[in-house]
Amino acid sequence: MTTKELAGASVEVDGEGYLVDHKVWNPEIAAAIAKEEGIDPLTDRHLEVIKFMRKEFDEKGSAPSIRRLNKLNIVPTKELYALFPGGPAKKAAKIGGLGKPQGCI
């Protein structure tokens, strides 16, 4: 684990840059991670997906996979890839302060 400065806070991240403790997450940290991931600014649509993922995490104990996001049709698949290019579930989970979704490579 590594300590990283995000939005003025020192946070622990794993080897892939995911927050170790999802409870330290806040919207400012989300914006900082998103910027690092090439997503700036975070729109209401981004936040809708992130809030859904955090809710799922709270209820089920893990971030939803892309398959689950597609199945639940939170946003259309094509839009999901446009919002979070290069791996929507992984990027949304990372920006949302969650661990990598199970089943993601």
Q: What pLDDT, on the 0 to 100 scale, is given for residue 103?
A: 63
User: What are the phi and psi torsion angles at 73 (to 5°)?
Assistant: 50, 50
pLDDT tens digits, 10-33: 999 999 999 999 999 999 999 999
What confidence category does residue 39 fall into, taking pLDDT thresholds of 50, 70 and 90?
very high
pLDDT tens digits, 42-92: 999 999 999 999 999 999 998 988 888 888 888 899 999 999 999 999 999
Q: Are 42 and 34 in contact (CB under 8 A)?
A: yes
> What CATH number does the domain located at 2-95 have?
1.10.10.370
Q: Would you name the residues annotated as active-site residues?
A: 104
Q: What pLDDT, on the 0 to 100 scale, is given for residue 104?
A: 56
Q: Tell whether pTM > 0.95.
A: no
Domain residue limits, the chain = 2-95
Q: What is the DSSP letter of 41?
A: S
